[in-house]
A and B are shown apart, each in its own frame.
Chain A
C-alpha cells in the first residue's frame, strides 16, 4: 500500500472509531440519566417504577425523624410557593440538612408519596455565592 492510501485508511478507521464511541456516549447518557425535576414537575409527571432526581427546599414544620433512621419531610420548589412533595427517606443525612435548605434526592413514586433511595441525598454546600439575601441574616 502506498503511504498516501495508508494514511487515508488510518484516517477513516480512526474517524469511524471516534464516531462509534461518541455515539455510544450520547446514547448511554440519555438512557442512563435520571430526570431532574422540581416538586411541581414531579407531581405532574411521576410514574411508578421510574427514578427521579428531585430538587427542592425543605418545608418548615415538615421534618419528622421516625425510628429506625427513617426521615420524613416535604420538598417545595426553590422559588417558593406551589405544592410540596412528601418524601420518606432512610440512610445518611448530610450535615447541612435543615428547614429552608436546598437538596437533591433520588426518589421513586410509592402510593401517594415518594420514597427516597437510601443514601442518595445531597445537600448543596450552603457556603457559596448566594446572590439573594441570606434568609438567616434578615
Chain B
C-alpha cells in the first residue's frame, strides 16, 4: 500500500506541473482547451491526494506500524478517534493534510470562478498549482509519509497525551484550511496584476475569498485558544507564542484588507495598498507555516531541527519578491481615482483602522522574529515576553475597538457637525455612563486601560445598536413584516453590512472578556493537604478528599492511572461548586523505569476542572509531575520487590502493586500541588468569538435571489462604466 501512496504523491507532483504548463500555455496562446485542462488538473489533484491521504489514514486506523510515521505517532493503546487524528501529529502527515486541503479549496475557487474572470483564472490556477507543486515536492523529496521499516515494530510510540483532546480532531484541519485558503486571494491577486485586470469583478472575487480565509483562520485560532485554555495553558488562552502569533498576523492583515477593499470599491482609492495587503497576508500565512515547520524559533510548539527551512525561505523570498515586482510594475493600473476629502470621513476612519492593524501586525512580527534579529545584531539570541507585547498591543487594541464603533456610522467623503451630533450622541452618552459607572458601580476603576476599554465597548454597542434600531424602524415602516421578520429581512437585504456590524459587536464583546480576565485574574500555586483551604479572588477552595482510579479512564484517552482531589469551592461561607481536577498517567513503552514505574512512567497530563458562568470562571488543576514525584519512594520499593521470576509466574503483579500504591494514596494522600484560579467574564471572550463567527457567516452567505439580481445589475453597470472609461 505504501507504494500506492508514494505513486500518488509523484502523480500529484506531475499533475501540478502539467497544470501549470497547460494554464500558462493556454493563457499565452489564447487556447481554451489548454486552460480547461489546467483547471481540470486542480480537480484531478484532489482525487490523487485523496488516495494518498486514504492510504495513510488506513495505515493509522489499522495500526500498520511498518509505516514509520504510524509507529512514531500512534500505538495499539491509542483510541480510534485519536489514531485517525494522529496523522496530523507528524511533520509528514500534517504537510500531506496541508496540500490536500489546498487542493480542495483551490478546486472550490476554480469551480466558483469557472465562468468569471476569464483572463485572470489561468494565472490564478498556475499560482495555486505552484503551491501544490511546492508542497508535494516537500512530501516526495524531503519528508515522505510513506517511508516504511521491515520488519514492522510490534507497537508504536503513541500519540502524545497532550494531543488526546477533542480539539486535536478539529483544530489542525481548521487552522490549515485557514492557511491554505489564503493562497486563493493571493493567486487571484497575482493573476489580476499580471493581466492588469484589477477591476470591480476582481474585487468581488478577492473579497469573498479573503473573507472565507479570514473566517477559517479565525475559527482555527479560536479553537487553539480554547484548547490551550483547557490543556496546555491551564487557564491561559494566549501566550504570545511564535506559533500563535504566526496565525494572528495574516488574520490581522486580512482584516485590514476586508476594510480597505471597501474604499476601493466605493471610491476607487488605495489600490496599491489593497494589492499589497492581500499579497502580504498570504505571504504571512506561508511564513506562519514556515515558523511551525522549520524550528527556527523557540516555541511551546516545539520543533526539532528540521530540514524544511531552506525550501520555505526560498518560497517566501519568491512570494515577497514577486509581489513587490508585480505591484511596482503594475502601478499604472493601480492609480487612485480620488483623493481623501476630509479627515472626518469613513475613508479616513478605515485608513486609520488599516494603519493600526498593520502597526499591530508589525509589532507582533517584530516581537516574534526578535530572537533572530537579536542574534544577528548582538550575537546572542534574546526574546521578548508577554509584557513587551502588551505594552504595544493594548493601546492599539483600544483604538481598534473605538474605531469599530466610529467606522460604521461616520459618512463617506465628509462628516458634518449636524451629522456627527445625530450619530454620536447616543454612543458617547453610553460611554460617559460607563465611565461614571466604572467609578461607582462596576469594580474596574483600579485599571485605567480596562476602564477605557469598557467605555469604548459601550460606545460600540451604542453606535451599532443605533444602526440596527434605525434600519429596523425603516424596514417596519416600509413593509408589513412582523418585528422579527423585519429584522431578518433587513439583514438579508444587506448581509455584508449587517454581518460586518455583528462582527464588530462580537469583537467588542470578546474584548470585555480579554480585558477583565487579563486584569482581574487571581492565581495561586499551593500545596493543600486534606482538609486545608486556600482563598483565591474571594473563592475558598478546600481539599476534601483524594481520588484514584486504575484503568478507569473517564476521558477515554488511554491513561492507566488517574489521581485527583475533590475540592469544595465556597464564597463567603456559601457553597458554590465542587471541582475535581485530575492527573492522568500513561505507560512508558521503553520499560526503563522498572516493572511498576513504567506503568505510569510515560507522559502525564493534568486535566483542568472548570466551572464557568457568565460572571466568572473558577478553575483548578493538579500539577501532575510533582504529584507523581511524591509517590516515587513507594514506586521504587515496588519495583525492587518484583523479581523476574515472580513476574514470569504472575504477569499481572505490577498492576496489583500499582493498585496497592493507589490505595495507599487514598489512605495517606500527600499534599496536592494545585493551581487555583478565578477569572471574571472569560465566557464573554468565547461568546464574543462566536458572535464574530456568526457575523462572518452572515456576511459570506449567498444573498437571496432578488438581492443577487440587484447586486448583479449594479455590478454590470460598474463593468459597463469601466469598459466605457477604457
State the A residues within 8 Å of B (CB).
3, 21, 25-26, 28-30, 32-37, 41, 53, 55, 63, 65, 68-69, 71, 91-98, 102, 104, 118-119, 122-132, 134, 136-137
Q: Which residues of B contact A97 (CB under 8 A)?
A: 625
Question: How many angstroms between the C-alpha atoms of A26 and B625 in the bound complex?
Answer: 39
Q: Which residues of A contact B339 (CB under 8 A)?
A: 3
Task: Assess the A29–B384 pair: CB atoms within 8 A.
Answer: yes
Chain B minimum-CB-distance residue to A135: B590
Task: Assess the B305–A95 pair: CB atoms within 8 A.
Answer: no
Task: Assess the A131–B302 pair: CB atoms within 8 A.
Answer: no
Q: Which residues of B contact A129 (CB under 8 A)?
A: 90-91, 94, 292-293, 295, 303-304, 306
Whether B370 is near chain A, meaning CB under 8 Å from some CB there, is yes
> Which one of B210-218, B387-395, B473-481 is at the A interface?
B387-395
A71 → chain B closest CB, angstroms:
7
Q: Which residues of A contact B527 (CB under 8 A)?
A: 68-69
Chain B minimum-CB-distance residue to A63: B629
Whether B382 is near chain A, meaning CB under 8 Å from some CB there, is yes
Task: Assess the A69–B606 pair: CB atoms within 8 A.
Answer: no
Q: Which residues of A contact B381 (CB under 8 A)?
A: 35-37
Task: Assess the B382–A131 pair: CB atoms within 8 A.
Answer: no
Question: How many angstroms between the C-alpha atoms of A110 and B421 in the bound complex?
Answer: 63
Q: Which residues of A contact B163 (CB under 8 A)?
A: 127
> Which one of B108-116, B359-367, B702-710 is at the A interface?
B359-367
Task: Assess the A126–B383 pair: CB atoms within 8 A.
Answer: no
Contact pattern, B 202-236, Cβ under 8 Å of A = 1, otherwise 0: 00000000000000000000000000000010100
Question: How many angstroms between the C-alpha atoms of A85 and B259 in the bound complex?
Answer: 52
Task: Assess the A32–B387 pair: CB atoms within 8 A.
Answer: yes
Q: Which residues of A contact B159 (CB under 8 A)?
A: 127
Whether B298 is near chain A, meaning CB under 8 Å from some CB there, is yes
State the B residues within 8 Å of A (CB).
71-72, 89-91, 94, 153, 156-157, 159-163, 232, 234, 292-293, 295, 298-307, 339, 359, 362-363, 366-367, 370-371, 374, 377-378, 380-385, 387-388, 391-392, 525, 527, 588-590, 603-606, 623-626, 629-630, 632, 673, 675
Task: Assess the A65–B626 pair: CB atoms within 8 A.
Answer: yes
Task: Assess the B298–A104 pair: CB atoms within 8 A.
Answer: yes
B532 → chain A closest CB, angstroms:
14
Task: Assess the A95–B303 pair: CB atoms within 8 A.
Answer: no
Q: Which residues of B contact A69 (CB under 8 A)?
A: 525, 527, 626, 673
18 A-B pairs within 8 Å (CB atoms) are namely: A32-B384, A33-B384, A35-B380, A36-B380, A36-B382, A53-B382, A63-B629, A69-B527, A102-B302, A118-B525, A125-B300, A126-B603, A127-B89, A127-B159, A129-B91, A136-B157, A136-B590, A137-B156
Q: Which residues of B contact A104 (CB under 8 A)?
A: 298
B546 → chain A closest CB, angstroms:
18
Task: Assess the A124–B384 pair: CB atoms within 8 A.
Answer: no
A100 → chain B closest CB, angstroms:
10
Question: How many angstroms between the C-alpha atoms of A40 and B383 in the bound complex?
Answer: 18
Question: How many angstroms between the C-alpha atoms of A132 and B367 in the bound complex?
Answer: 29
Question: How many angstroms between the C-alpha atoms of A36 and B379 in the bound complex?
Answer: 11
Q: Which residues of A contact B589 (CB under 8 A)?
A: 136
Task: Assess the A131–B307 pair: CB atoms within 8 A.
Answer: yes
Question: How many angstroms between the C-alpha atoms of A30 and B383 in the bound complex?
Answer: 9
Question: How many angstroms between the C-alpha atoms of A108 and B532 in the bound complex?
Answer: 33
Q: Which residues of B contact A35 (CB under 8 A)?
A: 380-382
Starting from the known contacts A32-B385, A119-B525, A136-B589, 19 additional A-B residue pairs (CB-CB under 8 Å) come to: A25-B363, A26-B366, A30-B377, A34-B385, A36-B298, A36-B371, A36-B381, A65-B632, A69-B626, A92-B525, A93-B623, A95-B605, A102-B302, A124-B298, A124-B302, A125-B162, A131-B306, A137-B72, A137-B157
* Known contacts A25-B363, A69-B525, A137-B157; is-contact A95 B603 (Cβ 8 Å): yes
Closest 5 CB pairs of A and B: A124-B302, A65-B629, A33-B382, A130-B304, A129-B91
B168 → chain A closest CB, angstroms:
9
B439 → chain A closest CB, angstroms:
31
Kindly identify which residue among B301, B370, B626 contacts A33, using a CB–CB cutoff of 8 Å: B370
Kindly identify which residue among A37, A130, A136 contacts B380, using a CB–CB cutoff of 8 Å: A37
A123 → chain B closest CB, angstroms:
8
Question: How many angstroms between the C-alpha atoms of A68 and B91 in the bound complex?
Answer: 40
Q: Which residues of A contact B302 (CB under 8 A)?
A: 102, 124-128
Task: Assess the B162–A34 pair: CB atoms within 8 A.
Answer: no
Task: Assess the A95–B625 pair: CB atoms within 8 A.
Answer: yes
Task: Assess the A131–B366 pair: CB atoms within 8 A.
Answer: no
Kindly identify which residue among A29, A128, A130, A132 contacts B366, using a CB–CB cutoff of 8 Å: A29
With a 10 A CB-CB cut-off, give which of A26, A36, A55, A123 has the most chain B CB atoms: A36
Q: Which residues of A contact B367 (CB under 8 A)?
A: 29
* Known contacts A29-B370, A33-B382; is-contact A128 B301 (Cβ 8 Å): yes
Question: How many angstroms between the C-alpha atoms of A119 and B621 in the bound complex?
Answer: 14
Task: Assess the B371–A131 pair: CB atoms within 8 A.
Answer: no
Q: Which residues of A contact B383 (CB under 8 A)?
A: 33-34, 36, 53
* Known contacts A95-B624, A95-B625; is-contact A131 B304 (Cβ 8 Å): yes
Q: Which residues of A contact B307 (CB under 8 A)?
A: 131
Question: How many angstroms between the C-alpha atoms of A98 and B153 in the bound complex?
Answer: 25
Chain A minimum-CB-distance residue to B157: A137
B388 → chain A closest CB, angstroms:
5
Question: How many angstroms between the C-alpha atoms of A123 and B301 in the bound complex?
Answer: 9
Question: How many angstroms between the C-alpha atoms of A65 and B293 in the bound complex?
Answer: 35
A130 → chain B closest CB, angstroms:
4
Q: Which residues of B contact A136 (CB under 8 A)?
A: 157, 588-590
A128 → chain B closest CB, angstroms:
6
Q: Which residues of A contact B94 (CB under 8 A)?
A: 129
Task: Assess the A29–B388 pair: CB atoms within 8 A.
Answer: yes
Chain B minimum-CB-distance residue to A97: B625
Q: Which residues of A contact B625 (CB under 8 A)?
A: 93-95, 97-98
B390 → chain A closest CB, angstroms:
11
Question: How many angstroms between the C-alpha atoms of A98 and B162 in the bound complex?
Answer: 14
Chain B minimum-CB-distance residue to A106: B385
A56 → chain B closest CB, angstroms:
12
Task: Assess the B305–A132 pair: CB atoms within 8 A.
Answer: yes
A75 → chain B closest CB, angstroms:
14
B626 → chain A closest CB, angstroms:
6
